[in-house]
A = this chain, B = another copy of it.
Amino acid sequence: MYVLDDINRDLLDLLQTDGRMSFKELGDRIGLTAPAVAERVRKLEDAGVIKGYRAVVDYEALGFPILSIVRVKAPIAGRAVDEKIAALPNVIEANRVTGSDSHVIRARLRTTRDIEDLLADVWEDGETITNLVTSSPVPRRPMNLKATNAGRAS
């Protein structure tokens, strides 16, 4: 497990909030110079702790107002099923899970009609249960590493 000191923990919290913050500004906030920050960030990237940077896009504004959660009970949950799911561009996440279902899939859709198309694709693999998200009390957010005492040696 990768152990963080307090500076790296704060760096990660800042970069999770604003992934485009400059090294200089990061340094100003935590009391380091830009080169020192750059080196720490580079090491976090090399270690795989920072996996990348992403712009967060509002899919609703782009015409995908429906967020659906589909649970699948696939009798034979093999690689073929996984790959078929991954090939669907509307799918933004898919997990294999414990319990009576085999997969949990999340997809962004344009219309209710698209739900049928999505289900038709996974239908062949097993029974499905679909929930539509009506609101998000906690929209997808980063963990607050400071609040969770992340990175402390256990």
Residues of A that sit less than 8 Å from B by CB: 1-2, 4, 12, 15-20, 47-59, 61-64, 67, 69, 81-83, 85-86, 89-99, 101, 103-105, 108, 110, 129-145, 147-148, 150-152, 154
7 of the cross-chain contacts (CB-CB < 8 Å) are A20-B53, A86-B138, A92-B142, A93-B141, A95-B137, A96-B136, A99-B132
Residues of B within 8 A of A151 (CB): 62-63
A104 x B69 contact (CB < 8 A): yes
- A132 pairs with B56, CB closer than 8 A: no
Chain copies in the assembled complex: 2
A4-B138 in contact given A15-B55, A55-B12, A57-B50 (Cβ < 8 Å) = no
Task: Specify which chain B residues have a CB less than 8 angstroms from the CB of A83 in the assembled complex.
Answer: 137
Distance A62 CA – B53 CA, assembled complex (angstroms): 17
The answer to whether B54 touches A142 (Cβ under 8 A) is yes
Q: Please name all residues of chain B whose beta carbon is closer than 8 Å to the beta carbon of A145 when the two chains form the complex.
A: 57, 62
For residue A94, which residues in chain B have a CB less than 8 angstroms away from its CB?
A: 136-138
> Across the interface, which residues of B come within 8 angstroms of A54, CB to CB?
15-19, 53-54, 56, 142
Would you call B1 and A133 a contact (CB within 8 A)? no
Do B4 and A132 touch across chains, with their CB atoms under 8 A apart?
A: no
Given contacts A136-B96, A143-B89, contact A61 B48 (CB under 8 A): yes
